[in-house]
Amino acid sequence: MMPPIVILDRPQMGENIGAVARAMMNFGMRELRLVNPRDGWPNPKAHEMSANADVIIEAATVYEIFAEALADCHFVVAATARKRELDIPAYTPREAVGLLVEKSNEGQRVAIVLGGERAGLANDDIAHCQAICTIPTDPKNSSLNIAQSMVILGYEWWQAGIRDFGFGVTADQSPIPNPQPLLSTQAERQGLYDHLVQSLEKTNYFQHEGRAAVMQRNLRAMLAKLPLTSHQIQSLRGILRALSS
Amino acid sequence: MMPPIVILDRPQMGENIGAVARAMMNFGMRELRLVNPRDGWPNPKAHEMSANADVIIEAATVYEIFAEALADCHFVVAATARKRELDIPAYTPREAVGLLVEKSNEGQRVAIVLGGERAGLANDDIAHCQAICTIPTDPKNSSLNIAQSMVILGYEWWQAGIRDFGFGVTADQSPIPNPQPLLSTQAERQGLYDHLVQSLEKTNYFQHEGRAAVMQRNLRAMLAKLPLTSHQIQSLRGILRALSS
C-alpha cells in the first residue's frame, strides 16, 4: 500500500514546508510536491524546520500548474473548510483517511492537497479533487496552518495503518499499550490489612474510646477501594516493616 | 466540563510556545502554564507564532518548580515516549483524551504535560503524573515537537467534545454537573509523599547502596497512580503519624 503523496498548493513560509515534511516523516509519507511555492525552491528555511526530513525536502518536485501536480493520481483529498457551493463530499480526517487507505489498498495512487496559506484553496483547484477533508475545530478559532493540518492527517494515516496493516508494530511500540498489571487478590489485600492493623495496634492509633472497630472497618474499606497491584502490596508491606521496626 | 490545563516543562523555542497556544485556541483549551521557559517570559517570539491566541500567551503563568505547576490538578497526563521503567500506564492520544474527558466530567481538574524539547520529560517529573500518552509514529522517525503533540491532543479533545458534548454544535461548552468524592490534588499527594519519605528516612528503608533516588521515584509513581481522595490522604497521614511516633 502506497502512502499518500502530499501536494502543497502555493505554500508561503519555508518553515511551514519544512514542518510539513517533518510530519510526513513521522507518519510514514515520503513524496512531496509543491505548486508555485511563493519564495521559490529550494528554500533554506524549509530545511531548518524539517528535522530529519531532509530526504523529503531534497526530493520534492515543483509544478507551475496545479492540475499537473496531481495528474498521475487517482484519488485526491483536499484539506479545506467545507465548500457548500462545490457539491464535493466533505469528511472528517478519520473518515478521509479511511477512504485513502481503502483506495490505496486497491492500488490507486492517492494524494492529500494542502494549501493556499493566505486565501485557502481556490474553488477551481478543489474542483479537481475527489473529496474534501475538514478538520473539526472551535468555529471561532478555525484557522489551521498547513503544518498543523499535516500533523493531524499524518497521525490519522499512521493510526489507520497500525490498525489495518500493522505499521510500526514493534516490540517497543505496540498499538495497544498496557500489559495489565497483576491486580492483587483479596488474600493479598487481607495480608496488607492484617499487617497494617497489627502495626497500628502497637501505637495509640486505635485508642479513641470505642472507635477501634469503626476505624478498622474504614481502613479495610479504603484498602478495598484502591486498585492495588500485587507489586504495590509488597511495596506497602515493605514500608510498614520499615516504619514498625 | 473544564478543558485540560496545558503545562509546558522547560520549553525552549518561543515559536513553539506560540504554536502550542495557537493549537490550544483551535481546540478549545485556554490555560497555559510554563515551567522554566529557557528564554524567559514574556517572549516576543511566542506572540509571533500564536496567531489569534494572544489571550492565552498573555495569561500564561510561569513556575520554577514542576510540582507546583500541577499542584492543584487531580489527573495529569504526560505526553512522552513510553517509559517501561516507570510502571505508569501508557495510552494512545485517543485513549488518553477519553480519560481526560471522563475525569473532567467528574469535576476533576485535568492537565496535559508536554515538554523537555531537548531531552524529553525527566522520569522524576513523569512520576508526578497519573498517565502517559504516547503518540504513535514511525518508530524510525518518532521525534515530535511540543506544537505537533499539542495539535494531536487538541484535535482528539475537540473530537471527543463533539462526540460526547456537542462542542461546535451548541454555542457553549456548558459544564456538566456530576459531583464525585473529592479526589486529592497533586499538592495533597505531595504532602503525603513528603510525609512518607521523611518517615522512612528515619528508618533503614533507603539504605540500599545508591538506590534511594530510584526508590523515592517509585514511591512517587505509586502514589500518583492510586486514585486517592482528600479524605484517604488524611487517613494515610494519620497512620504515618501513628507509626512514626
Name the residue facing B232 among A26, A148, A222 (closest C-beta). A222
**pLDDT tier for residue A21 given thresholds of 50, 70 and 90:** very high
Note the Cα B214 to chain centre separation in Å. Answer: 21
A181 CB neighbours in chain B (<8 A) are: 87
**Residue B53 vs residues A71, B29, B30, B58, B151: alpha-carbon distances, Å:** 39, 10, 9, 9, 14
Residue B77 has φ and ψ, to the nearest 5°, of -110, 130
Cβ-Cβ contacts under 8 Å for B61 (sequence gap 6 or more): B32, B33, B34
Selection from A8, A59, A147 nearest residue B145 by Cα = A147
pLDDT of residue B82: 67
Tell me the longest C-alpha to C-alpha distance in chain B.
Answer: 60
For residue A33 the three cell numbers come to 510536491
pLDDT of residue B177: 38
Strand order through the sheet with B61-63: B61-63, B32-35, B5-9, B110-115, B75-79, B131-133, B90-91
A22 CB neighbours in chain B (<8 A) are: 148
Distance from CA of A137 to the nearest CA of B (A): 6
- Chain A 114-173, CB below 8 Å of chain B: which residues? 135-139, 141-144, 147-148, 151-152, 155, 158-159, 162, 167-168, 170, 172-173
Q: Please compute, for residue A58, the number of CA atoms within 13 A of its CA located in the half-sphere on the CB side.
A: 5
Tens place of pLDDT for every residue, chain B, 245 residues? Answer: 799 999 999 999 999 999 999 999 999 999 999 999 999 999 999 998 877 899 999 999 999 999 999 999 999 999 997 666 777 888 999 999 999 999 998 888 999 999 877 777 888 899 889 999 999 999 888 889 999 999 999 999 999 987 666 554 443 333 333 345 677 888 999 999 999 999 999 998 998 778 888 899 989 988 888 888 888 999 999 999 999 88
Decide if A215 touches B, using CB distance below 8 A. Answer: no
DSSP β-ladder status, A110-115 and A75-79: parallel
- What are B168-184's pLDDT values in tens digits? 444 333 333 334 567 78
Torsion angle (degrees, nearest 10) of CA A149, A151, A153, A159? -160
Neighbours of B223 (CB within 10 A): 20
The type of residue at B35 is V
- What are A202-242's pLDDT values in tens digits? 998 998 778 888 888 888 878 877 878 888 999 999 999 99
- What are A124-146's pLDDT values in tens digits? 888 888 889 999 999 888 889 99
In contact, B224 and B88? CB cutoff 8 Å = yes
Name the residue facing A25 among B141, B152, B239 (closest C-beta). B141
Q: What is the CA radius of gyration of chain A?
A: 29
Q: Do A158 and B168 touch (CB under 8 A)?
A: no
Q: Do A51 and B245 touch (CB under 8 A)?
A: no
Mutant choice from B243, B244, B245 vs A, greatest count of A C-beta within 10 A: B243
Burial B94-114 (b: 16+ CB within 10 A, else e): bbbbebbbebbbbbbbbbbbb
Name the residue facing A245 among B25, B53, B203 (closest C-beta). B203
For residue A96 the three cell numbers come to 478521509
For residue B176 the three cell numbers come to 456538566
Interface ipTM > 0.85: no
Distance from CA of B37 to the nearest CA of A (A): 20
Strand order through the sheet with A5-9: A61-63, A32-35, A5-9, A110-115, A75-79, A131-133, A90-91
- What are A85-131's pLDDT values in tens digits? 666 788 999 999 999 999 888 888 899 999 877 777 888 888 888 88
pLDDT of residue A189: 82
Mutant choice from A29, A52, A137 vs B, greatest count of B C-beta within 10 A: A137
- Chain A 61-100, CB below 8 Å of chain B: which residues? 92-94
Distance from CA of B27 to the nearest CA of A (A): 6
